[in-house]
Amino acid sequence: MSSPPEIRVYPSPEDLAGSAALRIAGFLSQAIYARGFCTLLLSGGSTPRAVYERLAQTASGQGHDWSKVHLFWGDERCVPPDHPDSNYDMARRALLSQVPIPDVNVYRVDAEHGPEQAASHYEADVRAFFSRRAVDGAEMGVFDLVLLGLGEDGHTASLFPRSPALLERQRWFAGVEHDRPPPPLVGRVTATLALINAARQVIFLVVGKNKAEIVRQVLTGDSNPPLPAQLVQPDHGYTLWLLDASAALSLPSDQT
Ligand code: 6PG
């Protein structure tokens, strides 16, 4: 049974980014202490950029051992890795280029070859990683930390409302023929709920007044069918929502 989500509200996006970076760095350090390495599934979109930039500063200041951090993506758009819409490109600029993480520890989604083929290839790469690390105590598909954003329609990663990918219970990644807003209107690769809900810790990063209503629906509503973000309920892990004051505007006071 999943624990109820914890919610933290910050005065500004900058305060959220600073605190999120400290929480992420601390959680990765705990995982490294426990198992000798850590696995992080990165979120795409624009919100995490400031968090990744602060994480690079925070972790480096703490002497973080990046050789023990393994980075993956929770979703990717089917565009080249140097495309402005690439989630890899955003993380490369904000984080990867700022820290001494070995290239072999960065598992990019090879998304240029279309959603389904890219999802299958990526899943094979991720499964191979966990198989190799099983001797070190890695549990198949159990990420130490999953970072997620929230779209105004309640999507998370690239799990959109009414998407068949929401029903996937075996595969860890699925191809999404994405043809609706939000842009970019290209195919995507997304982690499935089967993978996301296996994680030890999930952190949602949400800022902006434009997200206030969907945050209220996700955290207090009883949408039918449930919104994709409402289906993130880690089987054995914890969910933490980090919101700025604008995104939390419509939440009942007893929830903030
Ligand atoms: C993506 C993201 C997506 C994102 C939300 C919020 O690739 O687009 O994974 O789920 O997190 O759409 O995006 P913003 O942070 O830009 O508001």
Q: What is the pLDDT of residues 155-176, one digit of tens each?
A: 999 999 999 999 999 999 999 9
pTM to 2 decimal places = 0.96
Asked if 38 and 130 touch (Cβ cutoff 8 Å), the reply is: no
Domain annotation covers residue 80: yes
Of the residues 16, 42, 47, 218, which should be mutated to test ligand 1's pocket, given the most ligand atoms within 8 Å of the CB? 47
Handedness of CA 6, 9, 15, 17 (dihedral sign): positive
Cα 134 to middle of ligand 1, angstroms: 31
Domain annotation covers residue 206: yes
As a whole number of angstroms, the distance between CA 104 and CA 211 comes to 36
Cα atoms in the Cβ-side hemisphere of radius 13 Å centred on 78: 20
Atom nearest to 158 CA in ligand 1: 10
Q: Residue 89's Cα: distance from chain center in Å?
A: 15
The reported pLDDT for the residue numbered 2 is 66
Domain annotation covers residue 33: yes
Query: What's the average model confidence in pLDDT over 2-30?
Result: 94
Q: Do you find a cis peptide bond into 115, omega within 30 degrees of 0? A: no
Asked whether residue 1 carries a pLDDT value surpassing 60, the answer given is no
Phi, psi of 180 (to 5 degrees): -130, 160
Asked if 182 and 151 touch (Cβ cutoff 8 Å), the reply is: yes
Atom nearest to 149 CA in ligand 1: 11
Nearest CA to ligand 1 atom 4: 45
Asked whether residue 179 carries a pLDDT value surpassing 70, the answer given is no
CA angle 13, 161, 168 (to 5 degrees): 110
Domain annotation covers residue 164: yes
Q: Total structural domains in the chain? A: 1
Domain annotation covers residue 181: yes
Asked if 66 and 100 touch (Cβ cutoff 8 Å), the reply is: yes
Domain annotation covers residue 176: yes
Handedness of CA 241, 245, 246, 251 (dihedral sign): positive
Domain annotation covers residue 1: no
Tokens of 174: 């699925």
Instruction: Choose between 103 and 237: higher pLDDT.
Output: 103
Q: Spell out the residues 6+ positions from residue 80 whose beta carbon is closer than 8 angstroms to its own.
A: 86, 112
Asked whether residue 178 carries a pLDDT value surpassing 80, the answer given is no
Q: Any residues with Cβ below 6 Å from ligand 1, and which?
A: 43-47, 75, 87, 149-151, 155-158, 182
CATH assignment at residue 139: 3.40.50.1360
Cα 206 to middle of ligand 1, angstroms: 9
Tokens of 241: 């929502």
Residue 213's SS3 state is helix
Q: Spell out the residues 6+ positions from residue 167 whose beta carbon is closer than 8 angstroms to its own.
A: none
Cα 47 to middle of ligand 1, angstroms: 7
Domain annotation covers residue 174: yes
Q: By residue range, what is the domain housing residue 91?
A: 6-255
Instruction: Choose between 106 and 135: higher pLDDT.
Output: 106
**Average pLDDT for the chain:** 94
The reported pLDDT for the residue numbered 153 is 96
Q: Spell out the residues 6+ positions from residue 192 whose beta carbon is closer than 8 angstroms to its own.
A: 159, 165, 168, 169, 171, 172, 173, 174
Phi, psi of 214 (to 5 degrees): -70, -35
Handedness of CA 145, 60, 93, 110 (dihedral sign): negative
